[in-house]
């Protein structure tokens, strides 16, 4: 983009900015409760609506078509990759590498499943021990109640 194009003021962009600024100031007036908030909203939104209407009729500039083959000559050679090897060979190597990584991940996943399985059996054992402890505590409470009743009869 040339310096002249950068310095040129676009009227649509200017009006977008002015309309948006007026709408924001109107919102601030509305939040604070100051007068003329509704009027600022009406003016700002009217400007925005007008700009959107005008921009609907803008013509699109014809974009320049670049010749990338001149910059990247390998684009003209469909059978070769960037390093001179055939692209099919590179693709096959990538597929093999991907496949070996998938297999490695499957082995790791199997190990993880195995550890989860042993953890599950450990949790089952722990649950059984907790149930036994609970039963023992209930038995101890019954015996304490019996002992308490006998002690009450003695007193």
Name the pLDDT band for 133 (thresholds 50, 70, 90).
confident
Q: Looking at the domain assignment, is residue 124 inside a domain?
A: no
Q: Looking at the domain assignment, is residue 12 inside a domain?
A: yes
What's the pLDDT tens digit per position in 140-151?
Answer: 888 888 888 888
Q: Looking at the domain assignment, is residue 22 inside a domain?
A: yes
Q: Looking at the domain assignment, is residue 149 inside a domain?
A: no
The least confident of 42-51, 88-97, 98-107, 123-132 is 88-97
DSSP secondary structure string for all residues of 104-115: HHHHHHHHHHHH
What residue numbers bound the domain in which 16 lies? 1-59
3-state secondary structure of 60: coil
| Per-residue model confidence (pLDDT) at position 51 | 86
Q: Looking at the domain assignment, is residue 82 inside a domain?
A: no
| Per-residue model confidence (pLDDT) at position 120 | 67
1 pLDDT above the threshold of 70? no
Q: Looking at the domain assignment, is residue 9 inside a domain?
A: yes
How many domains is the chain built from? Answer: 1
What's the pLDDT tens digit per position in 107-132?
Answer: 888 888 777 766 667 777 777 788 88
Q: Looking at the domain assignment, is residue 1 inside a domain?
A: yes
3-state secondary structure of 80: strand
**CB–CB of 68/76 below 8 Å?**
no
């Amino acid at each position: 983009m040339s310096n002249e194009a950068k310095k040129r003021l676009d009227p649509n962009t200017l009006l977008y900015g002015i309309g948006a600024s007026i709408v924001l100031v109107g919102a601030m007036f509305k939040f604070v409760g100051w007068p003329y908030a509704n009027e600022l909203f009406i003016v700002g939104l009217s400007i925005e609506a007008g700009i959107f209407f005008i921009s609907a009729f803008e013509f699109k500039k014809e974009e320049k078509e670049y010749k990338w083959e001149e910059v990247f000559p390998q684009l003209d050679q469909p059978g070769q990759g960037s390093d001179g090897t055939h692209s099919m060979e590179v693709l096959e190597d990538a597929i093999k590498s991907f496949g070996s990584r998938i297999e490695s991940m499957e082995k790791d996943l199997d190990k993880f499943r195995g550890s989860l399985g042993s953890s599950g059996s450990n949790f089952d054992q722990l649950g059984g021990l907790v149930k036994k402890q609970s039963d023992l505590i209930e038995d101890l409470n019954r015996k304490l109640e019996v002992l308490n009743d006998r002690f009450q009869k003695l007193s």
